[in-house]
Amino acid sequence: MTPREEISEPTIDELASTLAEIDADGALQETAEAAFGGTRAAFLQRSLAAAAAAAGGLFAANSADAADVATTKNDIAMLRFDLVLEYLQAGFYTEAERLGALTPKTLGWARVVGAHERAHVVALKRLLGRKTVPSPTFNYGSVTTREQAFIRTAVGFEDLTAALLKWQAPRLDSRSVVAAAITLHSVETRHAAWIRHLIGLQPAARAFDKPASQARMARLIASTNFVSAQPQLAGRSRPRLTG
């Protein structure tokens, strides 16, 4: 039985049109302009590298470690990617709520959804155990304080996180990981429909939602320029203090 002839990835155009529908004035692109000014080139390089690393491509699985959880390298790489995505979302919604600059309705959405994403972070970290990854450093620029830019980014995040989980589901080795991931997936689509409904967009535009690959997601994350260099707050040089 072949339910579908071929499960194919959406084209860049299709994904772009998903974003375009909610990013009419390029808020996601705008983030790059707003956030990085003169040092943009340098940060673009670093953020791409960080996103690629976060995508699991550069993580060497420690085969010497006894696995905390009996999951395959393939599954661990995917779960790590999910975790980075959850860090990204959780950080975004948490900052928006703390800064409190959005409308009450949007803040109310960010408050609830942020709590969900933070809970997802906790669950994924617990599952990964010693194989977990720390959060990248994020710079959301002014997107967390601007209503339209925030909403467009949030809609994009929710739609695309769900799309990624759809792509991962048939590629995961462990059925229990599938069972767990699928419980998150529908919550992300609820988030997506909820915020679309809030802003007057169609909550459910089509009968079937398409998957989006991890590679595409990594490129998309990189294009937001939200992943930034980690500041160096500690040093070893001699203090230049009055004493």
Partner 1 sequence: MHPTAGTENADSARRSTRRALLRGGLVVGGAFAVGGGAFGWRAGAATPAPSAATDQQILNFALVLERLQAAFYTAAVDDDALRGELREFAEIVGGHEREHVAFLEKALGSNADSQPTFEFGSATREEKAFLDAAVLLENTGVAAYNGQAANLTKKSLAAAAEIVSVEGRHAAWISDLAGQHPAPRAADPGATADDVAATLQRTGFIKEQ
Partner 2 sequence: MRRRKAVAVAFVTATLLTGIVVIQAIRGKAATSERAARAPIADAFAGLPRPPRPAFTVGRPALLDRRESRARFAPVLRRVDARTEPNAEAPPVATVTERTEEGTTNILLVLSEARRQGAAWVHVRLPVLPNNRTGWVPRSALGGYRFVDTHLTVDLNRFTVTLLRDGRPVFRASVGIGRSAWPTPKGDFYIRNRLSGFGDPFYGPIAFGTSARSAVLTDWPGGGFVGIHGTNEPELIPGRISHGCIRLRNDDIVRLARLMPVGTPLTIR
Instruction: Enumerate binding residues for partner 1 (CB under 8 A).
Output: 1-4, 7, 112-113, 115-116, 119-120, 123, 162, 165-166, 169-171, 175-176, 178-179, 182-194, 197, 202-204, 206-211
As given in the structure block, the two tokens for residue 58 are 């550069």
Considering only residues 4 through 43, tell me which ones interact with partner 2, judged by CB under 8 A.
33-39, 43
Asked if 104 is part of the footprint of partner 2 (rule: CB under 8 A), the reply reads no
Is 157 a residue that touches partner 2 (CB under 8 A)? Answer: no
Q: Which of 177, 192, 195, 220 binds partner 2 (CB under 8 A)?
A: 177
* Whether the Cβ atoms of residue 213 and residue 12 lie closer than 8 Å to each other: no
What are residue 84's phi and psi, to 5 degrees? -60, -40
With binding defined as CB under 8 A, does residue 74 bind partner 2?
Answer: no
209, interface contact from partner 2, partner 1, none, CB < 5-8 Å by kind: partner 1
Q: 29: phi > 0 → left, psi -120 to 50 → alpha, else beta; which?
A: alpha
CA atoms within 13 A on the CB side of 241: 4
Based on CB atoms, which residue is closest to partner 1, 17 or 39?
17
- Number of residues in contact with partner 2 under rule CB under 8 A: 61
Size (the chain), residues: 243
Q: What span, in angstroms and rounded, lies between the C-alpha atoms of 81 and 68?
A: 18
* 158: contact with partner 2 by CB under 8 A: no
- Establish if 101 lies at the interface with partner 2 (CB under 8 A): yes
Residue 163 and residue 73 in contact, taking contact as beta carbons nearer than 8 Å = no
